[in-house]
């Protein structure tokens, strides 16, 4: 049984290490010494969680309850905890200073189990129960352990690395060689439960990757599309017969059904079932088969009557964001009606369809989903002729849609979970109008506003993802395009992620240091015109290369559907600059 003390010590070490390789090496060394469920539980804990991303793992303890639990555990008044909190700035550090030295006795399992109990306490009296459970374990913990237990409970572990580091560590620890990391990353796109993945790899080693399958209840990572520069390129890329589907601008949704049990997941794998009761009810009516997994897009949508005719109205993505809420769901269901357009089927009655070609999947989709009410299938045209695709695109834009996705109909056109696949190509109206490029950038800092913008930010320091290093590198400062409402919303989002120093997975040049550092969490879409070399930014900077910068950036919208690791990458920026 591994001690929690060892994990806490490693947390402490990892906080200080910045080298990617070194972090992976330490993680691998740790995993090598673990067995079975400890492997699983530690994988979750390293990511500051107690379960897979698609499960609700919030423990329901906010500062107020944690303060009470800490006061109870160490026999001091709550006022003292609050005073120390103001000084230390972190409740974990407060637990550390209040706690007495003692012999370490807790195992990883003890702590994990306790965190689960805290999460599961619900209903009347649950606040007292949660506080009591936390207080009790703090009394058994050493100061170092107490610090990390409190941070874990509050969801503030923040070791400064993401799941990719763990996957690389699994490769070394469980297969004895880092060369399997690529395969493990592919497996993770299908088995998105990192704990389950870790445990299976630990038990079966190098034979495991590739053996994971999709199953209801566990969403797979979404397949994404490539973009092309021109229609001519499209013709070259997808030869022969191809399907052009309408591209709906809303939120990606993966619907899982197992009998009467239906759940919906977002592109970030969050469980969004409660947000869309209308979609769940509609799927129940449209799909009679027992077990199925569907992929599609939800859009803000209405059918209107005009001069006795029925017309479809597609609303922009922003409107759908009103449905991102925990409260007043019924009210907004009326206020912002939606429809779902399914374009893929990934699983049917015990059989994974991921390896079936698109034409076969589409035929099964049509067979098992009845188009009725707010359930639709993506409309499409099939042709070899590029002019016909152009006509279809024009009709699509005429309807108010953003463009098309052209899909290969080849026998190899499988569903590539988690990949920007060469079987799907998007073509949007803005490309055809020669409009500027858009980027999904991670906010890593902000500068104080002046004049009219006093009290808010003047500009945001934004970064792209360096995939190899798993680090965020700055690309541009965005100071225009925000409405007052945008600024207010961004301020409130950022306030939860303020960091006291530059987060260690962000690289910023000295001359570019912001007034406030932000943990990489919030992603915004930015329009920009030109990529230039710039010594002021770190994007793509290397021994030989200067950094890259985006000129004339303008804020477009917050991308709630993207996390920092889904942001535009250094490679994409470099390809754009080189005109690849």
Q: What does the CA dihedral 384, 385, 390, 395 come to, rounded to 10 degrees?
A: -70
* Rounded Cα gap, residues 201 and 180, in angstroms: 11
3-state secondary structure of 297: strand
Query: Which segment (39-47, 156-164, 244-252, 531-539) binds ligand ATP by CB under 6 A?
Result: 244-252
Query: Binding to ligand ATP by residue 343, rule CB under 6 A?
Result: yes
Query: Which segment (16-24, 161-169, 239-247, 322-330) binds ligand ATP by CB under 6 A?
Result: 239-247
Ranges within 44-83 binding ligand ATP (CB under 6 A)? none
Among 82, 104, 224, 386, binds ligand ATP (CB under 6 A): 224
The DSSP bridge partners found for residue 557 are: 525
CB of 228 to ligand ATP, least distance (A): 11
Query: Binding to ligand ATP by residue 572, rule CB under 6 A?
Result: no
Query: Binding to ligand ATP by residue 248, rule CB under 6 A?
Result: yes
Q: In this chain, which residue has its C-beta nearest to ligand ATP?
A: 224
CB of 252 to ligand ATP, least distance (A): 4
CB of 171 to ligand ATP, least distance (A): 27
Query: Binding to ligand ATP by residue 405, rule CB under 6 A?
Result: yes
Of residues 317 and 457, the one with the C-beta less far from ligand ATP: 317
Among left, alpha and beta (phi > 0; psi -120 to 50; other), residue 489 is alpha
CB of 356 to ligand ATP, least distance (A): 16
Confirm if 54 and 270 have CB atoms less than 8 A apart: yes
Pairing relationship of beta strands 506-507 and 471-478 according to DSSP bridges: parallel
CB of 424 to ligand ATP, least distance (A): 6
Query: Binding to ligand ATP by residue 264, rule CB under 6 A?
Result: no
* Rounded Cα gap, residues 446 and 517, in angstroms: 7
CB of 376 to ligand ATP, least distance (A): 11
Query: Which segment (72-80, 218-226, 270-278, 453-461) binds ligand ATP by CB under 6 A?
Result: 218-226
* Helix H or strand E segment including 184: helix 181-190
Of residues 159 and 320, the one with the C-beta less far from ligand ATP: 320
Confirm if 232 and 302 have CB atoms less than 8 A apart: no
Distances in whole angstroms, Cα of residue 386 to Cα of each of 237, 246, 383, 479: 12, 15, 8, 40
Active site residue 16: no
* Rounded Cα gap, residues 511 and 472, in angstroms: 17
- How many residues sit in the footprint of ligand ATP (CB under 6 A)? 13
Among 116, 185, 237, 252, binds ligand ATP (CB under 6 A): 252
Query: Binding to ligand ATP by residue 342, rule CB under 6 A?
Result: no
For 500-557, the three-class secondary structure string (H helix, E strand, C coil) is CCCCCCEECCHHHCCCEEECCCCEEEEEECEEEECCCCCECCCCCCCCEEEECCEEEE
* Rounded Cα gap, residues 534 and 177, in angstroms: 38
Choice among 84, 147, 242, 247 that is catalytic:
247
* Interacting residue ranges for ligand ATP, rule: CB under 6 A: 222, 224-225, 245-248, 252, 297, 343, 378, 405, 426
Which of the residues are catalytic?
247
């Amino acid at each position: 049984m591994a001690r929690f003390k060892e994990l806490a010590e490693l947390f402490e070490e990892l906080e200080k290490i910045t080298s990617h390789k070194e972090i992976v090496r330490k993680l691998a060394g740790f995993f090598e010494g673990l067995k079975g469920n400890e492997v699983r539980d530690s994988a979750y804990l390293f990511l500051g969680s107690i379960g897979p991303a698609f499960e609700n793992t919030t423990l329901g303890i906010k500062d107020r309850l944690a303060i009470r639990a800490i006061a109870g555990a160490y026999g001091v008044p709550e006022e003292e905890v609050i005073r120390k909190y103001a000084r230390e700035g972190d409740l974990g550090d407060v637990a550390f200073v209040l706690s007495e030295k003692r012999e370490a006795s807790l195992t990883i399992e003890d702590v994990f189990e306790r965190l689960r109990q805290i999460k599961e306490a619900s209903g009347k009296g649950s606040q007292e129960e949660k506080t009591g459970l936390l207080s009790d374990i703090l009394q058994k913990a050493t100061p170092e352990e107490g610090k990390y237990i409190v941070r874990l409970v509050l969801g503030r572990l923040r070791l400064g690395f993401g799941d990719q580091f763990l996957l690389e560590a699994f490769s070394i620890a469980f297969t004895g060689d880092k060369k399997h990391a690529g395969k493990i990353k592919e497996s993770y796109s299908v088995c998105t439960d990192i704990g389950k993945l870790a445990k299976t790899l630990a038990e079966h080693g190098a034979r495991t990757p590739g053996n994971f399958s999709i199953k209801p209840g566990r969403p797979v990572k979404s397949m994404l599309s490539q973009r092309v520069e021109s229609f001519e390129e499209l013709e070259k890329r997808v030869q022969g017969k191809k399907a052009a589907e309408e591209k709906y601008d809303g939120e990606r949704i993966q619907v899982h059904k197992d009998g009467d049990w239906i759940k919906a997941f977002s592109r970030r794998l969050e469980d969004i079932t409660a947000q869309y009761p209308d979609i769940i009810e509609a799927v129940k009516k449209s799909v009679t088969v027992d077990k199925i997994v569907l992929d599609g897009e939800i859009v803000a949508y209405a059918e209107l009557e005009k001069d006795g005719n029925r017309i479809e109205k597609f609303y922009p993505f922003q409107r759908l964001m009103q449905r991102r809420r925990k409260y007043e769901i019924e009210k907004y269901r009326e206020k912002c009606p939606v429809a779902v357009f399914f374009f893929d089927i990934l699983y049917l009655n015990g059989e994974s369809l991921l390896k079936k070609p698109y034409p076969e999947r589409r035929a099964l989709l049509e067979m098992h989903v009845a188009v009725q009410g707010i359930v639709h299938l993506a409309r499409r045209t099939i042709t070899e002729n590029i002019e016909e695709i152009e006509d279809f695109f024009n009709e699509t834009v005429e309807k108010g849609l953003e463009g098309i996705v052209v899909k290969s109909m080849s026998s190899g056109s499988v569903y590539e979970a988690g990949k920007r696949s060469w079987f799907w190509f998007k073509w949007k109206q803005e490309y055809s109008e020669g409009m500027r490029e858009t980027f999904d950038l991670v906010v890593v800092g902000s500068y104080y506003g002046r004049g009219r913008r006093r009290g808010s930010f003047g500009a945001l320091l934004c970064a792209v993802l360096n995939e190899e290093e798993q680090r965020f590198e700055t690309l541009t400062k965005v100071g225009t395009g925000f409405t007052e409402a945008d600024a207010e919303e961004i301020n409130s989002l950022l306030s939860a992620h303020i960091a006291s120093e530059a987060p260690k997975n962000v690289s910023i040049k000295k001359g570019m240091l912001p007034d406030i550092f932000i943990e990489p969490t919030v992603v915004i879409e930015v329009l920009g015109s030109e990529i230039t070399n710039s010594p002021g930014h770190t994007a793509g900077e290397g021994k030989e290369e200067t950094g890259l910068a985006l000129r004339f950036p303008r804020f477009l919208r917050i991308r709630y559907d993207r996390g920092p690791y889904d942001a535009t990458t250094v490679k994409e920026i470099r390809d754009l600059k080189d005109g690849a």
